Chain A
């Protein structure tokens, strides 16, 4: 297995190089530059814009810029943002906690809803409960987050005035009040993201359970006189959860990548909003770092998912 992991990691290197090259070229081909705001300001002579372009190396040929970037990245230097002139790694580290907190909580919420509901629905397929769960699941994943987000704001902030809709990364409160405020401001974004995730995950859990529940060994277990609880939890769920665990592992990079739309709506200073504002400002070093780190995480967690799969299901061997 050690050999298998090593081989997979070796394969990852050329694919990551390829990803970075494609990203860089696409960004270089994309029109616009980070200093467009200067152009219509009559106070700023155009030479300043030209000087800035030259200073940040934007006038160099693409392949040179790519090689510079690659060499720096290999040494752990992520470069600096053209827009804020701050090091990219500090910028990303600043944004990470909010994303981990909000997107992470929403994933946990999604699991907490999806597993019990999915399992229960699978044990009684086509019952009233199953029908209702299905209906809600369909509604859940057909409503986009930008719609539910704004709906939640209108209901809970504007009409009822219960929750704040502007997320503050640095709350002034201390102690228990800090915890309360932190939870209060995260409720809406976590619900929006969590419910959306839970909807599709419920369907997944349900079908995974249904696949297993019909197998002969389950009937055998029942024939042994085991109770429904034990059969479902110990025998069915253990096996049905194997694909679910893989799915969750593959979702983890998204926890780091943030949620672009939801973060924008609730003004959460996370990776997603950093990415979108950098894209709008053509801040190449930041876009490159965020997308590249994301690509690395996807590759890594794919590997982890595969290894995990083999560990959970010994029938699968690594070759």
Chain B
């Protein structure tokens, strides 16, 4: 767009002729929003303003206990091994990253003295290096100082394959070097426009070198501090019982003024979401509960005259139905759904489009997700600047029928369409999960009206999402025609979210079905756009490329978005949690407080 216009506006902000807010507003007007506008400013050399967290307490402590209820209890407390969100949350109470994502998708400095930008010299124009400066005077809970050596160590620890750290993706294709005691330089192998991955967010939590140095690599499991964290966080470790309880006490030497507010913290695990909602909203036994996967109707009923309420934080999590582009019924070289085959029914774009018209997203929202969902035509739903405005969706049984007629599928005697003597029959699989089975029923009903016979299948989640090569029911093997689940977006950047559909990641027997492109969709144009976006430095062009990726997926009907899912938490009325759709619930735990 208005490239010159934009440049002059950036310099206006730089020279103080235009304030940041006005700039962001102008960007909003042209379809971009806050996070993107800020990234533009950062790249344009304007220092990022510290995120304005309206934090009220004027002294440290005095807030009594903070009682959290997670219906899945954390099972380990090393952020590099945190397999699930629950474990990341548990670790985050004690460990901290350089910066976290705030509720608007901005970087919020935690251990970093400032957020790197072109202006402060933290970012380079070629997007190949980042300099992070540490806050001076930060101490580990055992009194030792935090230094650049710790950061370098975390990179070494995570990238050692023998450690088998789950954070490895954040630290690959880069090197970390120490500049001085309080600053490091990250050098990327290739230009990396999204530089805020290493040392940021849940997987960016930093563990102390002096306690873990001996336990790098194959000895990683034996580190005594895996279960007794010594971090820099707002709370010091007291006690941990895997799957049950974590207790922490206030860190009197915490590096942020007036923080934390609470004197102690307790995270209780176990049980189920509905009773967790009760414990917060109805009885007030606890202060906050995460991930309220409870029907909206139930929540609304609990909230009437309750002691708590639900809160919502939109991110980029998308629930979708994926279409199989290969034939799940024919075996080629001992492999079903082989990339060498074409799906007998769904390779026809008209059938896919008809299918998309049979997903009544409005009804799914109304009947199932309620306030925790938004209808969408897009696979990529955030941050705002990456959201396509070119797509649309509709629900129409008639139009779907017309499309199927065009494609040659005629209604047979039993009401089911057929072509060349073959029935239009689809197998629709998903994991076992209340809302998913209800969605299946809604879709099946619409399909039946349009003359498609849909067979439903649901698989236990631990099997559906497993990497067990021997199991035929995993989502990656995709031995079905369509399948539904959710892919969470872990950070406010679409790079990882979109790259998985690159044709080089097609799931095959050869890569043990570890390729993440499970629809086995191959599109040259998409490949080129993803490749270009991954090295594109200009944020506007980059956003355009990802929008193009999304539009290609929409045009080809690779994914039928069912719901843009919004994070739901339950909180006591007086509690002021800081929850972001772009981060885990506890990623800004230092800013939580209770209104008097």
Contact = CB atoms under 8 A, between A and B. Distances in A.
Interface residues of A, number: 54
Contacts of B65: 172
A57 interface: no
Interface string A6-40: 00000000000000000000000001111111111
B508 interface: no
A101 interface: no
A235 interface: no
B332 interface: no
Interface stretch (A163-171, A192-200, A221-229): A163-171
Given A45-B169, A81-B242, A158-B278, A32 B485 contact: no
Interface in A259-280: 264-265, 267, 269, 273-274, 277, 280
Interface in A205-255: none
Given A43-B203, A166-B285, A277-B270, A35 B69 contact: no
Contacts of B463: 31-32, 36
A46 B271 contact: no
Interface stretch (A83-91, A287-295, A302-310): A83-91
B103 to A, nearest CB: 20
A44 interface: yes
B535 interface: no
A283 B509 CA distance: 26
Interface size of B as a range: 35 or more
B563 to A, nearest CB: 16
Contact of A42 (B244, B460, B496): B496
A51 interface: yes
Contact of B514 (A41, A47, A81, A91): A47
A52 interface: yes
A182 interface: no
Nearest to A44: B166
Nearest to B71: A267
Contacts of B75: 81, 83-84, 281
Interface in B455-484: 460-468, 471, 473-476
A43 B462 contact: no
A41 B468 CA distance: 16
Contacts of A91: 242
A95 to B, nearest CB: 8
Interface stretch (B21-29, B76-84, B379-387, B536-544): B76-84
A166 B286 contact: yes
B221 A80 contact: yes
Interface of B: 65, 69, 73, 75-76, 81, 83-84, 161, 164-166, 168-170, 172, 203, 221, 226-227, 239, 241-245, 247, 268-272, 275, 278-279, 282-283, 285-286, 460-468, 471, 473-476, 485-491, 496-497, 500, 512, 514-516
Given A38-B467, A83-B75, 11 more contacts: A31-B463, A32-B463, A40-B487, A42-B487, A44-B166, A47-B514, A48-B166, A81-B75, A84-B75, A164-B285, A269-B241
Interface of A: 31-53, 55, 80-81, 83-86, 91, 94-95, 153, 157-158, 161, 164-166, 168-170, 172, 264-265, 267, 269, 273-274, 277, 280-282
Q: Top 4 closest A-B pairs, CB basis?
A: A46-B514, A269-B244, A84-B242, A32-B462
15 contacts: A33-B462, A33-B467, A36-B463, A38-B467, A46-B515, A81-B75, A84-B227, A84-B242, A85-B226, A94-B242, A161-B283, A164-B285, A169-B244, A273-B243, A282-B466
